[in-house]
Each structure stands twice: as structure tokens, then as C-alpha cells.
Amino acid sequence: MFTSIRPKRSNYRLLGLVGQGQFGRVFCAIHRKTGDVVALKDLNRDRLPTHKFLRELRFLLSLEHPNIVTCKALEHSETGRQLVLDYCEGGPLRRLIEQEVQLSLTDTLNIVSDVLAGLDHAHSKGIIHCDIKPENILLMLQSDRWVAKLSDFGIARLSQELNSAQLGDTGSPAYMAPERFENQYSVHSDIYSIGVILFELLFGRRPFSGTPLELMQAHLNQPVSVPNTAPKSLCDIIQTALQKHPDQRFQSALDMLAAVKQVPASAISSSTLLASPSPEIAPPPSAFQAQAVDRLSGPLQCLAIASKTQVFQSSGDQLILCNYPNGLLSADKAAVTASCALPDPIQTLEIIPQGCCVITARSIQLAPFAHPPTEVIHPAAIAEFSVDSITAIAPSGQWFAAISHNPTDQEARLRIGRFPTLSLSLNAGNPLNSDLRQIVLPGRTASILQLLTVDNRHLVIISTHSISGKQTTFEIFTRRGDYLGTLKIGVLLQTVILTPTPYRLLAIEQDNPSTILIIDVKPFRLFRLKLDIAPILMTATDWGYLFMDSQGRLLLLDRDTHTIGRIDGPSRPTAMVSYSQHGLLIATWEDIQGQLFRVDLRELDLDILF
């Protein structure tokens, strides 16, 4: 419900700017008490007169529908007023179009259906949107699919105002119905705009292009030519929605929605008939060129690059340190190899300034860098846990966090501790264990997937929920254990890693293993991309992302997720890590043998400059 709030300070903590328009800016924010994520639409009073602000507010408060952005509250700031709105982490539909994401036909029809459902509700209240375009359609990820919400009723009209001349001729010419250019409005005008959007989603372009004057002439006089690559049922829908005369279009949003839902399954399964990625987006695989460095005595689960000459490896409970005196890209084999056994299997290796953190379910060990190379490793015990825990290390190496979950009593315990200033004579009985700060988190029915430190001050608990709908949550805490808020995504994830981009995570979906997510925590944004492989390994670099499947097929994307190369690599990979700007280590294991490969990406035929 709507409430008017006049606090001394904002009830919301800003996560970042996500949009900017003519009348103000839109921020992603978290409520300070509840942790709910919202959109704050900051409307500048000098740019938006009070009567126009109250007009949009009136429309928002009269509309309550799953496919329309809801207004939750009103706040006042020093510069103006702030509408508190639903937050849509997928951003505007325009973002997917500009990033050339190839939506499936099912996704396209779902998005159009959502917008039509929201539009039908608005029309039933006597409200004509008048500015439907991809920028005003926002996306949320729910139940494994995009859910669309109609937003921005800033120039909407009431039915009784349709002949009011003082409202002016405003809108977006590329999506305006012919009568809109003559200052006439009706529900049929919104339906025409939906037809333009459906055309654009299917064919990657709008039916008309050019200057505003050229667009007006085309909408008024030029017939629409629908490519014959589309199934007839979709061609008929587009042709009807884009009729020049309003009375010849669908008579209501509900009528068009019914037509969309009647598109036969055979048409949906033939999505290859529609626009497909250009050959530049899907280059042929490059030949694999690599130096086989070592034959392995066991499968490697983790690789960590300590320097140009040192690599830490783990195989079961074995920690291995390999020294390459002439550098990782040298053809020489490791001159010195040291190893030791830990009490438990190694889960993760993390490089911090003090050395290599060796993480098991019950402990954190710190293995120092070896200068000069040594044949013996003596890890120092930093912390030990009485129950199995998931651990994360701050990038600075100054603190760590560990979380354990007891499903029986439905609670979790978050432990946060400091690293020593470094006396590497520490042992398993170090009293640091008693200095851990413990926070009890009750009501934990979800499964904890991972714990990550997104910077030197914040950590994120990632949990999956599948009882009342598929959902992954990201609970944000400070290094002191103070709860800040929760981000929610409507899919289950199976793997999440950090990237070099601040506050950006890379994830693989559990139910769709060929689909990856790029998740920005600050501000909260989501990008979803379907790959043509199902990766089991992934890593992120300064220039992009690398994915590898069980057959050894390697896919390289740049930071904008454009494909820059494909490589047919070695099969059965078990670990992969990148180093410098162009180096890559890949470990494989098949039956009773395996190898460690060093790859210099500069030697491959890739569309990238190092």
C-alpha cells in the first residue's frame, strides 16, 4: 500500500544509479530495516511540475497488477520527490535488444503476453499508456523465465481526455501508431506499439526506420512487410496489430493476448525460422595449441597461480606446489615440486598477499610462498571448525568468514575472524579460533550454496530455495556481521564465482546448465545468456569469460558477452585457471591418467588483442 514518509534521513541505502531520464534519475536501493530491494525514481521538482507528478502518481496508485510496476511508497529528498517502485533486476527490454541477446520464441511470446496482460488491466481502468517501447518494459527473472512489467505512465492518458488538445503530441515516433501523429489516442494505439515491439523481437529490427519525419510518413502511409521466415500465425498477429486504421486492429489487449496464446506449439518449436545470430557471433573452432607440462598422478580439483613461477594444486587431500624457474610459459618442466597431506579433502585454493589459503570443510590453512623454491610445504593453521563449513577469504587477506548449516534445528552459524599479522609458526591450536565472532541465523530452511566476499568489507551468503518456487538469494552482510539486505533471483544456481569486475559474479543455472548469469551486486542487475555448450568449468579475466565443457570445448566471450573464439581442447578437464592476460592452465583426468596443459592464447586464432 502507498504511504507518505518524511524521514530525517532516507529509509533506503543506495546501491547505484540504474537509469536517467528527462525528469530525474532511478536508483537501485535497499530498505535499511527490511533489506528489501526497490527502485527509487528521483523526480526533480524543477523539471517535473507538481501537477504532472501527481498525475503519474495517480495512475500508479490506481494500478495493481503482476505485469505493471507497483508504487510502494513516496519519499521526499532535498532535490524533489522519490517514488518507491518495484525493482526489476533484468533492466529494460531495450538492454537485451542492444546486447543482441537471441531470445527464444517462447521467451519473446512470454514477454509480449505479460505486457498485454498488464496493458489490459490499465485499459480496464480507463488508462492509455501512450508510450509503450522497450525502454518502458522492465524484466524480472522468475520461475526460470523473464517476467515483463510495464512502467513509466508519465504521459499516459485517461479515456475521457483522448480529445484534449492541450495534452500535446508526445511519445516515441518509432513505436507510435499512425493516429498518434494526428494527436488522437485510443486503446488501439497501445496495441499498435505492441505490434512494433513483437516485430522487433522476432526479426531484430523495427518495421520502419529513419528520422522522426520519415518515421511519421512510414507509419501513416507505408504498408508493413513481414518477412516470410515467420510462421503464418505470427505473421497474422503482426499484420493485425499494425493495421493503419485503429478499427482494423485487435479491439482490445485481451484479444491480442488470446491470439498470442493460440500460436501453435509447432510454430514455437520452429524458432530456427526466425532471425539467427550472424556468422561473426559464432566463429568456427580454433585448433588447440598447448604445451603438455606434466603428467599427473591424480585428478586435480583446484589450481591457483601464485606468481609467474609458482602454481598451487590440490588433488584430494594433497597440496602440491610446483615451481617453474623460467616462468609458466616456458617449455621447461617444474624444477621443484613439493607436497603435503591435509587431514581433510581440499575444497578451494585462494591466493592472498600472505600466501595460498588452503580451505577444507573443517579448517583454513595458509601455505607461504616459497622464495627460494622449497621441497617441503608447511601450511599454518589459521582456523579450525568443529562442523563442516563453507569458507570465504577477503581479497586483502585481513579477515575470513565461514558458515555452517544445521538442517535439523534450521539455523546457520556465521563466523567471522581475522588473519594473523603473520607469524607462520602458527599451528592447529592457535587461539585465534576462540576470537571468532559468531552470528546465529535462525530459520534456515534453504540450502546454502556458497559464501563469497565481494570486497574487503562485505560478504554474501548464497542460498537456493526450491520448496515454494525456485529461487536463489544473495544475503549481504558487513565484515562485522551486520545484515544489509537480500537480492533474489527466480532460478536455482549451481556454481557462482567472482570476477575481476567489482561486485560482479558469474553463475551457471542448475536446471539449464547451458545458461549462464552475469550478476551485478551493486547495483543489482542481471544478464542471462544461453551458450551452445554446457560448461563444467569457468573463469573470468579482465577481458572476458572462458567456459569449458566435459568434452573440452572452450568458449571465449568478451566483457560484452560477444563470442571471440572457440577452441576444441582436451577432453575430461577437471580444473582451469587463467593468469596474466593471455595464459591458461588446464588439468585433465581420464581413467588413470591426466595431464596439465599450458596455453598461450596469443598463439590461437582469436578475435582479441592482448
**pLDDT at residue 279, as a whole number:** 37
Q: Give the pLDDT confidence of 224-239 residue by residue, as tens digits.
A: 999 888 888 999 999 9
Average pLDDT over residues 525-535: 94
Cell triple for residue 501? 569486475
When pLDDT is cut at 50, 70 and 90, the band that residue 50 belongs to is low
Q: What is the pTM of this model?
A: 0.89
| 12-85: CATH number | 3.30.200.20
pLDDT of residue 425: 45
For 60-218, strand residue ranges (E) read 71-76, 80-85, 91-92, 127-128, 137-142, 145-150, 157-158
pLDDT score of 434 more than 70: no
Nearest-5° Cα angle at 449, 448 to 451: 90
> What number is the average pLDDT over the span 577-603?
89
Q: Which amino acid is at 109?
A: L
Output the nine-digit C-alpha cell for 394.
577477503
Percentage of the chain modeled with pLDDT above 90: 55
Q: Could you tell me which residues come within 8 angstroms of residue 272 by beta carbon, excluding any fewer than 6 positions away?
A: none
Q: Are 417 and 432 in contact (CB under 8 A)?
A: yes
Give one word for 24, left, alpha or beta, with left for phi > 0 and alpha for psi -120 to 50.
Answer: left
Crossing angle, helix 253-261 and helix 187-203, to 10 degrees? 30
Report the range of poorest mean pLDDT among 19-33, 259-273, 315-329, 553-567: 259-273
Q: How far apart are CA 256 and CA 372, in angstroms?
A: 73
The stretch 523-533 carries a mean pLDDT of: 94
Q: Say if CB 176 and CB 148 are below 8 A apart.
A: no
Task: Report in angstroms the alpha-carbon separations of 525 from 89, 90, 139, 142.
Answer: 5, 6, 10, 14
- Mention every residue, 6+ apart, whose C-beta is less than 8 A from residue 564: 283, 544, 556, 557, 558, 606, 607, 608
Count helices and strands in the chain by DSSP H and E runs: 8, 38
Buried b (16+ CB within 10 A) or exposed e, 109-133: bbbbbbbbbbbbbbbeeebbbbbbb
Tell me what pLDDT residue 422 has: 53
Q: What is the pLDDT of residue 277?
A: 38
- For position 99, what pLDDT does the model report? 80
C-alpha cell at 179: 493516429
Q: How far is CA 442 from CA 34, 406, 410, 460, 470, in A?
A: 16, 10, 6, 17, 21
Average pLDDT over residues 294-310: 88
Which cell numbers in the block locate residue 50?
Answer: 507538481
Amino acid at residue number 218: A
The predicted pLDDT at position 152 comes to: 84
The 10s digit of each residue's pLDDT in 6-40 is 445 678 999 999 988 767 789 999 999 999 999 99
Instruction: Output the nine-digit C-alpha cell for 237.
Output: 498477429
Angle in degrees, 0-180, between the axes of helices 232-241 and 187-203, rounded to the nearest 10: 140
Q: What is the CATH number of domain 534-610?
A: 2.40.10
295 three-class SS:
strand
Q: What is the mean pLDDT of residues 98-116?
A: 89
What's the whole-number average pLDDT of the chain?
85
pLDDT at 498: 96
- Fold agreement (12-85, 109-139+150-281): no
Residue 49 predicted with pLDDT over 70: no
pLDDT band at 73 (very low <50, low <70, confident <90, very high): confident
The residue length of the chain stands at: 610
> Using one digit for the tens of pLDDT, what is the confidence trace for 124-163?
988 888 899 999 999 999 988 999 999 987 666 665 555 5
Residue 281 is predicted with a pLDDT of 46
- Give the whole-angstrom CA distance, residue 42 versus residue 292: 57
* pLDDT at site 209: 92
Beta bridge pairs of residue 145: 142
pLDDT of residue 2: 43
Average pLDDT over residues 204-217: 94
Is pLDDT above 90 for 373?
A: no
Domain layout of the chain by residue ranges:
12-85, 109-139+150-281, 455-530, 534-610
Query: pLDDT tens, 499-512?
Result: 999 999 999 999 99
In this prediction, residue 169 has a pLDDT band, given cuts at 50, 70 and 90, of very low
Q: Examine the pLDDT at 492 and tell me if it is beyond 90.
A: yes
pLDDT higher than 60, residue 4: no
Q: CA dist 405 to 225, 239, 497, 590, Å? A: 59, 57, 21, 34
Which is nearest to 392 in space by CA: 356, 348, 427, 432?
348
**pLDDT for the residue 67:** 96
Q: Identify the CATH class of 109-139+150-281.
A: mainly alpha
330 band by pLDDT with thresholds 50, 70 and 90: low
Residue 335 to residues 269, 338, 341, 374: CA-CA distances in angstroms? 57, 10, 21, 10
pLDDT of residue 246 exceeding 50: yes
Q: Write the DSSP symbol of residue 94.
A: H
Q: Which three cell numbers stand for residue 596?
A: 596439465
